[in-house]
Each structure stands twice: as structure tokens, then as C-alpha cells.
């Protein structure tokens, strides 16, 4: 992996992590109860919800930056 590609990947990771609180709030997913775990289907559904919420969070931040 080139240095430029590695740098871009790290930048995307930092962007995702900085938007994670907003993303989580938009997704509105409940926390698991202590000692209980999600099955594969539930984790996939939650991951999809987070991906969609991330798109909204990123779009909102970009829209705010343009104003």
C-alpha cells in the first residue's frame, strides 16, 4: 500500500471516528443488556443502520460547512 493510500485510509478512519457520536445518535440503536449478545442477523441490521446514519451525518456536516 502506498504512503498516499495509507494516509487517505487513516484520514477516512479519523473522519468516521469523529462522526461516530453523531452517527450513533442518528441511528438510535439501543445498547445490549449486560450479559446478552446480538446474533449475526441483529449485528448485520445494526451495521446497516450505522452505515446509513453515517451517510446522513457526513452529508449534514458537509452541508453545514458550505453555509
For the stretch 11-67, pLDDT in tens is 999 999 999 999 999 999 998 899 999 999 999 999 999 999 999 999 999 999 997
**Which cell goes with 22?**
453523531
Q: Are 56 and 25 in contact (CB under 8 A)?
A: no
| Confidence band, pLDDT 50/70/90 cuts, at residue 10 | very high
- The CA-CA-CA angle for residues 36, 43, 48, to 5°, reads 150
pLDDT at 1 over 70: no
Q: Which domain holds residue 46?
A: 3-66
Q: What angle do CA 34, 56, 38 make, to 5 degrees?
A: 20
Q: Residue 2 has what pLDDT?
A: 75
Quote the number of domains for the chain: 1
Give pLDDT, residue 3.
Answer: 83
Answer whether 46's CB lies under 8 Å from 38's CB: yes
pLDDT at 48 (0 to 100): 98
Amino acid at each position: 500500500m502506498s504512503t498516499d493510500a495509507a494516509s487517505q485510509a487513516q484520514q477516512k478512519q479519523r473522519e468516521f471516528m469523529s462522526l461516530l457520536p453523531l452517527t450513533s445518535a442518528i441511528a438510535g440503536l439501543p445498547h445490549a443488556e449486560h450479559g446478552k449478545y446480538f446474533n449475526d442477523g441483529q449485528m448485520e441490521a445494526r451495521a446497516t443502520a450505522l452505515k446509513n446514519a453515517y451517510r446522513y451525518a457526513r452529508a449534514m456536516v458537509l452541508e453545514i460547512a458550505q453555509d
